[in-house]
Structure 1
């Protein structure tokens, strides 16, 4: 039984701790903050996420908290006309084997955290910020900001888009600023007029902006996220903004989306960032996963899904012999990088071509999307949403 150190106690780090501990290893999760918790609001979970969650043993717990969505809607945000719709019941669930759902981030995080706490083989440590690592032929040392050293047979960097493990391993500088600012708010569902409480993920697209909303928290809350292509040049994380400022950023909204946006309270803003795909995320006994390896923009709704796939895939590969970690990490890297890199680039392209075009380009977009049948839309997303495309079910082929 090896000892594996994981830097980062987010969704990806905890999922990886579960996956690896169930292969018989001891795991130490180092969280830089003073508590294990999750910040942020709603996220979308495709069927591929549920395949991974089931493999991790927490699928039922997440389902109990999730809202299963009936439809993805793409609307023209200036005319309020529907452009396209992808039904998510019936044929969709039959095709992909699982539902499409939305959750508050905490509703996926807490089941993972509870499952880790229930295992004697997982140690969860707070106030443990990794600054760098060193390694030799027999293992890896995680050096903490406190001066402490944590020794293990391997190190997994799950420490997010600003990963210190990645900084040392790849050294590709700061994340790439997208030039897009997102404003987020979560309000009680009771404040939403009943006729607007749609069980859908609805996206309103306008010139250089879009607005998304859907229910979360078992339907008790309403998640609002409005994004502006404003040429922002510096990263911003959770900055409070006034309601009037947000409303003024979206002057061309149609009547219905304007009514919904005006419901928002306690708005906070983020400037969206990602990184270019890289081919290599390994350095001997050190490997990256999730946002540390392949951070992506929100537009494909796959950030958490891909981190969960990473966790299961790495757990299947890690094996039992510490002497094999370097080769197994390289195999993991080789098997995952094409898929995650394609997802990163797809998310960027969706933000450019689908969500924010202006004038004639927007009309062309509407014409293209409105021509697709549900079956054709399923074919478009099958490579992402299909569980078998994302991970080896029950260790197949391992």
Structure 2
């Protein structure tokens, strides 16, 4: 393990079929007014909305409705949510849904009492929070982002054609999160596999960095193997509780800050994917799957030993009689085969990307330096062309 680091995760998790039974006790820790945040109405169809309302009423809470959170929450929606929170002096933001709903809740949390434009302060200048924060609680219905146990909040600005994530400190982490794997059963296959790849990419973005013997890398390999195994079961049997529970738990540990301890990390697939999302509003996990293989082939020569290890330890590639390059390439081929098996999008044209968008997508991609190769804009353009 290299370097010095600080680790803290204050989120309390309740996991399992009976997890929702703990919501009432958590609600009693906060004031009278709760802003109920949710997406497009799927929680009403499933009956979860009625369950939540019943619990809120039983706890004597005043409910401020804030529905309609879109899959890629916009800054305009954040402004609207902040207005509701401020007008009602909300005591708790209760996010019921997937990662986008949780991300949105955290954005409202830090932005409601911000005296400046929160987009400028938090998403362009990336400043820390120095104002009142409204606590957030989550009831998770879709897995992938890990937003239930981290400080991340990704917001889209359509006018500026930017999609930016700010990873806030542990003071912004949800205070509690309720994870019942059965709540994910109603997801369409498209959303399920998109979430699965988001999980995988969260792990690889942290794994493909550094060249030391790092305990975190062994944990990452175990999580990836578990995810691959469970994903194959879930695609064939979406209501297999064991598989869905393992996927849900892996999603949380993939991005609750554990895996980046002692790591430089490489988030370039996310940077490229988010820029694509700003132009297309495409499903987040699919923007990642569409560019991952071209990106990893591009950087593989610079991190060859880690890609060789990835091939052997995650994909069980037999190294006998093969060069390091051949082993690494076989690992990436195995990963690509698994991705196609799940039904992931493998090119950006399917997401609505056109040739004329490419220069703007390149410009909207934040270039980071934690991986094996710092990309130039020309190299990002080549990766995008390979992804077409």
For Structure 1 versus Structure 2, the TM-score category normalised by the shorter chain is under 0.3
Instruction: Give the structure with the higher percent strand.
Output: 1
Instruction: Give the structure with the higher percent helix.
Output: 2
TM-score normalised by length of structure 1 = 0.25
TM-score normalised by length of structure 2 = 0.26
